[in-house]
Structures are given as C-alpha cells and as structure tokens.
Chain A
Amino acid sequence: MINILLFAQMQEEVGKEKIAVEMEKTTVKELKEYLQMHYKLTQLNESMVAVNEAYALENDEVKTGDTVAIIPPVSGG
C-alpha cells in the first residue's frame, strides 16, 4: 500500500488529507496517471511529487510502504 498525502486546494477537492493506493511497486509518473484517472485533481500537472519527504522525479520508483506527497506550487513566506 502506498500512502498519498494531499494539500491545499487538492485536499479540498478530494475532501481527504490522505489516500491509500493498493500497489506494490510503481513510478511517480504512473502514480500521477492513476490519480488523474480516479480523482479530479486540477493542479496535478503542475505539482511536484515528494517520496518519503524528498522531491522525486517522474521516473523514480515508488513502492509499498512509501509516503508520497503531491506538492502543488508552494506559496509560503
């Protein structure tokens, strides 16, 4: 199982802070495609992805037990 964390507008769109996806092994790119199919996330394309609290690239591997965060453009400061 892969835990996916949502923030800001996407958290409101889904109505949840967290989604659990039953997958053993995938990539960041495939996970984004999965989310795009199953949820209406307006900012997914311009979001970065973090795996276990570090920014990840499209082809990076994601496996069961990992925590994946969808990071829309940030606006701190």
Chain B
Amino acid sequence: MTDKLFEIVEEPILLEDMIKKVKRREAGAITTFIGTVREFTKGKRTVFLQYQAYKPMAEKMLAQIGKEIEEKWQDTCVAITHRVGRLEITEAAVVIAVSSPHRKAAYEANEYAIERIKQIVPIWKKEKWEDGDEWIGDQLERIEYPTGQPNIKE
C-alpha cells in the first residue's frame, strides 16, 4: 500500500489499506464505499469490465474532489482509489474512505465523492457482454454509445 490519498491503480484495492489512510485520533466515524462490478444491468449479462484512465489528470481530479469535501465538511479526511484494467464481476473498481469527528459528515461526504467521480474524473469503462462490447458513454449512465455506431442523443 502507498500513502497516496488519491490514486489510480492496476492491482486489487484492499479495503483495510483505505481505512488506514484516513484513520486518526480526532475521528469518531469512518465510512467506506466500494463500487463493485455488477453482473446484470437491465437484464443484460456483463462478462467483465475494462477500465481506462487518463491517470495523471484522474489523480488530480480525485484530489480536487478531496479538496471540495474538506471545504464543505470541515475536519474530514478523504482517500479515494480507483482501479483500472480488466475487472471481473464482484471486484472493487473504486473505494472511498472518509473519516470525520461525527458520522453525518462522513456519510454525506462519501456520497458526494462518488457522485463527483461520475462527473469529472477522466475514467472510462468498457462493458464486455456475451455478444460484444461497448464503451459506456455517459457518466450518469443515461446514454450508451454502441461501438461503431452513430451517437445516440437524448
């Protein structure tokens, strides 16, 4: 484990390491969020996911989210690690840990972090289906862009 609070990695993420990064004497709460690879989306079976990141910028954007959180919820400490490469069903793609003196801030800040990741962090996932694959084209998963086909606009 590294001591980097905001990181893009290729290896599996260990939850215990993430907790260690934010654990401190002033904290009365630590919340963790684990984003995992889901097998079925609207009845369609995913075989595995392939994540790609613009690594240096993605780490900067994760750090920016950490900064936003520290401004909104004082005395919080945030660590976020996102994994890239091939991920199998049930594996963790992202882990967010937040510590704070009281639980409410830790819960709220943790949810804020995952929402912001889906908006501003340059990471993309490609779904491998049983009958093909596609890059998922929208951070809020409203739009998908099938490979080799024209754009689908809302």
Q: Which residues of A contact B (CB under 8 A)?
A: 5, 7-9, 12, 42-43, 45-46, 50, 53-55, 69, 71-77
Q: Cβ of A77: which chain B residues have Cβ within 8 Å of it?
A: 35, 82, 93-94, 114, 117-118, 123, 139
On whether the beta carbons of A69 and B54 are closer than 8 Å, the reply is yes
B94 touches A75 (CB 8 A): no
Total number of B residues with any Cβ neighbor in A under 8 Å? 34
In the A-B complex, list the 9 residue pairs whose CB atoms are closest, starting with the nearest: A76-B123, A8-B124, A75-B136, A53-B57, A9-B135, A8-B135, A74-B139, A73-B138, A77-B118
Instruction: State A43–B137 Cα separation when bound (angstroms).
Output: 9
Q: Is the CB of B122 within 8 A of A7?
A: yes
Residue of B54, B60, B118, B126 with most chain A CB atoms under a 10 A cut-off: B54
The residue that A76 contacts in the complex, of B60, B82, B137, B147, with Cβ under 8 A, is B82
A7-B52, A50-B54 known; A75 vs B150 contact (CB < 8 Å): no
B124: chain A residues at CB < 8 Å are 7-8, 72, 74-76
Which residues of B have CB within 8 Å of A7?
52, 54, 122, 124
Q: How far is the CA of A42 from the CA of B151 in the complex (A)?
A: 7
Give the nearest-CB partner of A13 in chain B.
B148
Chain A residues in 8 Å Cβ range of B22: none
